[in-house]
Structure 1
Amino acid sequence: MYGKIIFQDFDLQGIDNVLKYIGFILVLMLSGIVGCAATEPGNIPLDGLNTNSFDIGEITDGEITDDLRHSTCTLRLADNKKEDSYNYIEGAICPAGGEECTYSAIMKLNGNITILKQISSGENDSVYKNKDFSIFIKQTPVAEQNDDEGSDIKATIVVKTKSDEKTLNMTGYCGV
């Protein structure tokens, strides 16, 4: 009625079909945006997170680094029985060009080697981050040891994304 008053010669009969097409296109566009946001690494639910084992050779093959100068901790999950295979390594990663070494944590998450830079450290705990993940690790010596070089430890590692977190319990060796 009001359309006829303002636009006297304007026919509104086909407008409902146009609105249906516009609505359909908007739904398609929004579903694409939601799908992309749901698959960003920070939004991946961690109950589906796979922590794969790896050996040091996967890191020092020149593709990631030529020099893992000093692997301080090598930890594994209880079900990882492979010799020289780990689920977590921490140590100084040194670029081939001689730049400064960066103390980092390395894990293989969902099939990809993930390197996280250390941002803080205490006597038995550390925090590591990259753009997708944060790792909080708390270490406890397994038994009282007199070895100045290092000791067997139990570690609780909390892997966090922007929206979720997963706790992993590992054992291994940390030393200098």
Structure 2
Amino acid sequence: MTPADDLRFPEALAAALSLPFDYDDGDGVDFEPFPAFLSAEETTDWFRSWTGNAELTGDSFRVFGRDGTGGYAAFWLVRPDRPLVDQPVVFLGSEGETGVVARDLGAFLWLLAGGYGPWEAATSYEPDWTPRRNQELTAVAERFAAAHRQPASTVVEQATGEFPHFDDTVMELCR
């Protein structure tokens, strides 16, 4: 696993997050990538604030972006002894929304290519919203995760199926 003090993104994530995400007045993807992972201290501060639990650390998350309201996208470090790219990607929204949106980085790349951001994959607040495939992100997914190709809906279905208790796990930490 990538040490917590290394704030650089894995190459595949850096390639995807270097591309623009167009919110398009609510018709696009609401995602603002960070230039690097949040530090361990910033992640701990955020997670304590988000949960209201001052006893926690943010050691289980590597935060790499947010939506416009301040919800965070992160790797959830739940698979012991596995590299960062094999950890699930989660969304923790500013209003308490939670969701596992991809089983690993390869699946996350296909989620992005399918026109979804972490918020769109984790929530269903906009029933009329329609994803728009992104050719540049498709090229990134093909370059780094060709063997993982799948529709965005399958990415989310597999992730939520593998981690059905994520919301309960996180809510138990809240005060």
TM-score by length of 1: 0.31
Higher share of residues assigned helix: 2
TM-score by length of 2: 0.31
For CA contacts below 8 A with separation 6 or more, give which structure has more relative contact order.
2
Structure index of larger Rg: 1
